[in-house]
Structure 1
Amino acid sequence: MNASSAPPSAASRRAWMAVLARTPRAELEAALAAALATAFGGNAAPPFDWLRAPQTGLAMVRGRIGGTGNAFNLGEATVTRATLRLHAADGGTVGVACHLGRDKRRAELAALADALLQQPERHAQLHAQLIAPLAARLEARRDARRNETASTKVEFFTMVRGDA
């Protein structure tokens, strides 16, 4: 198997799924439509069957005091998940998605992108057109937020009175 036909690694898949889970629906929809137009010659998504149609539920969020203490139940968060399989003509690849919130369309788009990104013949092109720009936007937002909060940082120091 040559490098272009090798399946993506698990670490690579985790990275693109994190990007898909954090991307707002409008951005994901626009980026996926543009990538599909290039990859398939049109805006239509390849046909697929639902293994698990988008569904919304609750997940228990657990926390730790100081990041190292005993785990405790912090509360519940709304999550939406979806699983689909591309038709055999498109490889029969299974795509999954899970994200915070109730947006079923976003879960569908992310699952479709996951399935397409797993196909070795399409991976490089879709990664360059879809994941790389979305990851760059997310990083830019993270940097802007970091800079905004850094401007409010307060430095505390102690002054000693008299002779020490």
Structure 2
Amino acid sequence: MAHGNEMRASWMAVLAKAPSGRLAALMPDLPAHDILRAPEIGAIMVEGRIGGTGARFNLGEMTVTRCSVRLDGAEGHACIQGRDKDHARRAAVLDALMQGGAAARIRAEVLDPLTGAATATRRARAEKAAATKVEFFTMMRGED
């Protein structure tokens, strides 16, 4: 079951990080669904760790929007950064669809294009950063 939870966490992350307009373009029409928790805006505390593993500290608050829906017996949930209620609802519906028989179609039509675009964006950002990389070296002095 942990493997299934990891897969679900993966597609939920893709949906949450996707640009809202791109997600809406890939899935313009939502199937009929029941709202369990209407999209609502709130804030969460973001924690950091010194060096990634050290002591925790509160970095600050971040605005999020969450939503929960039921579709064909499956519950879909979403929590996205920002105040876009439509994005949260669309992501929750897609989460529910991914738990049913439409999973392969949703993966091919929505998740794969979003994942490809995110990979291309990361690659372009890394290439841009690599172009500005400066190599430093130290010359040893003979006295030491």
Q: CA deviation at 1:161?
A: 3.5
Structure 2 SS opposite 1:9: helix
Q: Which amino acid aligns with 1:63?
A: G
Structure 1 length normalisation: TM-score?
0.82
What is the CA–CA distance in structure 2 between the aligned matches of 1:146 and 1:21, rounded to whole Å?
22
- For 1:105, which of 63, 81, 86 is the aligned residue? 86
- Tell me the equivalent position of 1:159: 139
1:42-61 Cα deviation digits (max 9, x unpaired): xx422112111111111000
Aligned length: 142
Does the CA-based 8 Å contact 2:40-2:65 persist in structure 1? Answer: yes
Is 1:79 matched with 2:64?
Answer: yes
Runs of 4+ in 1 over 3 A off after TM superposition: 161-164
Is 1:13 matched with 2:8?
Answer: yes
Structure 2 length normalisation: TM-score?
0.93
What is the CA–CA distance in structure 2 between the aligned matches of 1:74 and 1:101, rounded to whole Å?
17
What is the CA–CA distance in structure 2 between the aligned matches of 1:63 and 1:138, rounded to whole Å?
24
* Percent identity of equivalent pairs: 50
Specify every segment of 5 or more residues in structure 2 that has no aligned partner in the other structure, as ranges: none
What is the CA–CA distance in structure 1 between the aligned matches of 2:131 and 2:123, rounded to whole Å?
12
1:115-164 Cα deviation digits (max 9, x unpaired): 11110x21111111110111000010011011111111111111224455
User: Relative contact order (C-alpha < 8 Å, sep 6+): which is higher?
Assistant: 1
